[in-house]
Structure 1
Amino acid sequence: MPNNAPAPAASDSLRLRRLVVPIYGPTVLISIGMGAIIPLIALSALDLGASVTQAAIIVGLIGFGQLAGDLPAGALAQRFGEKRVLLAACVVEAAAMIVASRTGSLWVLAACVFVVGVCGAVFGLARHAYLSEAVPIAFRARALSTLGGTFRIGSFIGPFIGALLIEQHSFGATYAFAACTSLAGGLLSLTLPDLPDTKHRSPAAREPRRSMWTVLAAHRTVLATLGTGVFLIMIARASRQAIIPLWAESQHLDASTTSIIFGLAAGVDMLLFYPGGAIMDRFGRMWVALPAMLVMGAGFMLLPLSTTAMTIGLVACFMGLGNGISSGIVLTLGSDVAPDEGRRQFLGGWRLCGDLGSVAGPGLISLVSLAFPLGAAAIALGAITWLGVGWLAKWVPVYDPAREPTKVS
């Protein structure tokens, strides 16, 4: 498929290099902190007297916080600008971490976890909106895939630092460490260069203010079509992380073996983010979206056939291959279809589509496994993922800037 996107210029490459530290640095720092505390949230809840069910609900509050924060994040970024919103999200997140490190109340811990989820949505939306505007289209997929890759790198490093802090100090020290990484990320975000329109135009002249619902209604077709594809992508991604440890436990693998399998799969996942972005920029988005979903769907189908640590590990790494090469695909597709007017509000709705999939995937596993064996849930997820292949094959080319588009308004 020919690429009709503009060829990259030397000035564009220089412009992208200027963003490496201020946009990717905060992401690495914050994801390291989040990676350190996420495995501890359930343990903290249990330590405060929660039941296993209550602890699981508290862990899930991060996802619900992200859902609750997606649309307000778009409105806040539109009103105050990305740099201010990034800093505010990091400061509030750090405060929530500090409170969580010192509280003896289960309810306060739950509130802090929810706030961390909301702040994550605000931070994610602001950096997504910034890169959508700041990066030339010829580099867009590589820039956004690298953003996804830096998050994966931080999430991979974070649990090891968290384990070390618990060994040497306490749960509270780990939360305090995460608060420090959030504050450092917020301060580093202040070094972001101003966008051209925010630098040279007065606030009143930059963009007519439109309500969130007006923007989303105006672009309901793309949200209903390509947004549904993103929903299916995120179901596959979230379900992959949920079902592999459940399947390993059902095959009587111990926790340390399961952790090794996860680590190996995460390593494969991290290796492919930049090649995936380069393929999207050169050949088009479909050449990553479809293979990634095909591979993850096949992984779900193969999982019930794996019964040993070796075979489960191979399937997990195979699925990591599909997930890794698709790093940044959701961000890239969102930037491709985001309008110039109301960009931030639109991206809030776009991210809501993805986060709904993140919540729906593990929920689907729970529902299916109530009545059927866990293997049936894996088969069902494989079928849904392959359904997503067909849906994406229909709609990704319609909006792909690497093609001559025939866009649906």
Structure 2
Amino acid sequence: MFRRGAGPRIPSGPRSGPQRALIIAGFVSRVGNGLFNTAAILYFTLVVHLPATQVGAGLTIAGLCGLAAGLPAGNLADRYGPRKVWLTALALQAATMAAFVLIDSWLAFTLVATLDRLAATAGGAAGGAIVARAGGEHPAAFRARLRTFVNLGVVLGTLGAAFAIQSDTRAAYTALILANAASFACAGLIAWRGVPDCPPLPRPQGHRQWTVLADRPYVSFVALYGAMGLQYQTVSLLLPIWLTAHTDAPRWTVAAVYAINSGVCALLQSRLGSRVETPRQGGRAFRRAGLLFLVSCPLMALTADVPVWVAPVLAILAVSVHSVGEVWESSGGFALGYGLAPDHAQGQYQGFFGLGFDAGQALAPLVLTGVVLALGHGGWLLLGLLFAGLGVAGPPVAAWAEQTRSGQSGSDPAGPALPAGSAGPAADPEASSVEA
């Protein structure tokens, strides 16, 4: 079904030097993300003195502009090699993040945030292409380990940011920004030392620059994945608003659900994600995720109907179920997103994959607060039904995609791996430099 590429495999397993370097690079960059993202809105509003509405508008503009970089950067990675594009993107992210300490107006903030998002999107496309070739003999297990460690990085960064938030000084917030900039620079150095130049793969006759747009099964999958991505902000945005505005649960419950979500994902990602390697398995994982979200969403709604001492327990139970669904959803997304992409066009396909996810995240606040929250309990039920419907569509889309690729030979979705002794950059569609 898939063409098997030529070339040596990198050693697989947690003791593999190349994969270990990749995991370290991803962990370092996500510690920096956790440090800054936790306090970003506070820095921009309390230190730079921008109104929250202006911050929101600037981030929206930056996010929408950032979508434009995915496909062009992916094409550059396929044509000239992903390493060059990824290292360039990391350098730009380090520079733009450091530039945040110099901004003093909304225009400057929006410009820097836009450049940051363009670099992050380009880096995601190129990084995804390298991850596809660095998976070794068990790419699903490797991607699961990678995601486990980047999740741990975010948790550690978030905990570290608490000290800066508590001191609430310009110097403390500036230190967070510069630490995040340094994390991108360190990740780039790790990749620069450990990643040899990764040559582009030969393109078959008939290859087109925007071939992914003609791949209807893949476009359908990306649409499903982008819509299912609402589940991330269900925990980070919708549930905290619901708990504080519609329940009598103590305020520490919000922090508890964040911790439970991160902890469950970190503990289960390798265990469950390593079982999802083929597109067919990815489709089934997607279905499991949708059904778990169908259970978790009504449970979250019920926190408004129970006594104050029950609400935290019910919220933690709901988030635990939801987090298991998140692990299945991300694992299925990786199996389909990488496994359905042709070897020679991984950069382009990963760019489109990230574009779909980012578009869903951009629409999530409008859908969750403007529709679900406005409808109350009924909105939560509809949200759960939406997730279940998207999940049920996973296996048919995976089967359709496999049928369209049945004329290809081989069975390796990742293509030729990096040479022994190499490592790729950490690519995660959920990663971002500036969030609020």
**TM-score, with normalisation over the residues of structure 2?**
0.80
Cα-to-partner distance string for 1:318-356 (whole Å, 9 max, x where unaligned): 211211243343232111111133331222122212222
Q: Secondary structure at the match of 1:14?
A: coil
Residue 322 in structure 1 maps to residue 321 in structure 2: no
Residue 261 in structure 1 maps to residue 264 in structure 2: no
8 Å Cα contact 2:142-2:274 kept in structure 1: no
8 Å Cα contact 1:236-1:381 kept in structure 2: no
Report the equivalent of 2:390: 388
Matching residue's letter, 1:275: R
Residues 59 and 152 of structure 1: CA distance in aligned 2, closer, same or farther (over 3 Å):
farther
Report the equivalent of 1:233: 228
Cα-to-partner distance string for 1:28-51 (whole Å, 9 max, x where unaligned): 111111111112221122123333
**TM-score, with normalisation over the residues of structure 1?**
0.84
Report the equivalent of 1:355: 358
8 Å Cα contact 2:62-2:110 kept in structure 1: no
Q: Distance in 2 between matches of 1:275 and 1:398?
A: 28
Residues 227 and 368 of structure 1: CA distance in aligned 2, closer, same or farther (over 3 Å):
same
Unaligned runs of 5+ in 2: 305-310, 408-436
The Cα of 1:374 is off from its aligned counterpart by 3.6
Cα-to-partner distance string for 1:68-109 (whole Å, 9 max, x where unaligned): 332232133234422222221111111111111232223222
Report the equivalent of 1:271: 267
Q: Which has the higher helix share?
A: 1
Report the equivalent of 2:27: 28
Residues 369 and 327 of structure 1: CA distance in aligned 2, closer, same or farther (over 3 Å):
closer
Q: Secondary structure at the match of 2:104?
A: coil
Q: Distance in 1 between matches of 2:372 and 2:195?
A: 49
Would you say how many aligned residue pairs link Structure 1 and Structure 2? Answer: 389
The Cα of 1:380 is off from its aligned counterpart by 2.3
Q: Distance in 2 between matches of 1:249 and 1:63?
A: 27
Report the equivalent of 1:224: 219
Report the equivalent of 1:154: 153
8 Å Cα contact 2:61-2:110 kept in structure 1: yes
Q: Distance in 1 between matches of 2:289 and 2:88?
A: 35
Residues 284 and 211 of structure 1: CA distance in aligned 2, closer, same or farther (over 3 Å):
closer
The Cα of 1:208 is off from its aligned counterpart by 7.3
Match of 2:239 among 244, 248, 261: 244
Question: Which moved further from structure 2: 207-216 or 238-247?
Answer: 207-216
Cα-to-partner distance string for 1:112-140 (whole Å, 9 max, x where unaligned): 2333222222222222111212324x512
Residues 378 and 299 of structure 1: CA distance in aligned 2, closer, same or farther (over 3 Å):
same
List aligned pairs for 1:10-409, cutoff 5 A.
14-15=11-12, 17-47=16-46, 48-60=48-60, 63-64=63-64, 66-136=66-136, 138-167=137-166, 169-194=171-196, 198=199, 206-207=202-203, 214-219=210-215, 221-250=216-245, 251-253=247-249, 255-281=251-277, 284-307=281-304, 308-368=311-371, 372-399=374-401, 407=405
Residues 326 and 18 of structure 1: CA distance in aligned 2, closer, same or farther (over 3 Å):
farther
The Cα of 1:65 is off from its aligned counterpart by 5.1
Question: Which moved further from structure 2: 27-36 or 47-56?
Answer: 47-56
* % identity of equivalent residues: 18
Question: Which moved further from structure 2: 339-348 or 249-258?
Answer: 249-258
Q: Distance in 1 between matches of 2:41 and 2:389?
A: 34
Aligned CA RMSD, in angstroms, stands at 3.0
Q: Distance in 2 between matches of 1:46 and 1:210?
A: 52
Matching residue's letter, 2:388: W
Cα-to-partner distance string for 1:205-230 (whole Å, 9 max, x where unaligned): 944799975323442x1233322222
Q: Distance in 2 between matches of 1:134 and 1:309?
A: 42
8 Å Cα contact 1:146-1:328 kept in structure 2: no
Matching residue's letter, 2:55: A
Matching residue's letter, 1:304: A
Q: Distance in 1 between matches of 2:66 and 2:148?
A: 20
Unaligned runs of 5+ in 1: none
The Cα of 1:151 is off from its aligned counterpart by 2.3
Higher RCO (CA-CA < 8 Å; seq separation 6+)? 2
8 Å Cα contact 2:372-2:380 kept in structure 1: no
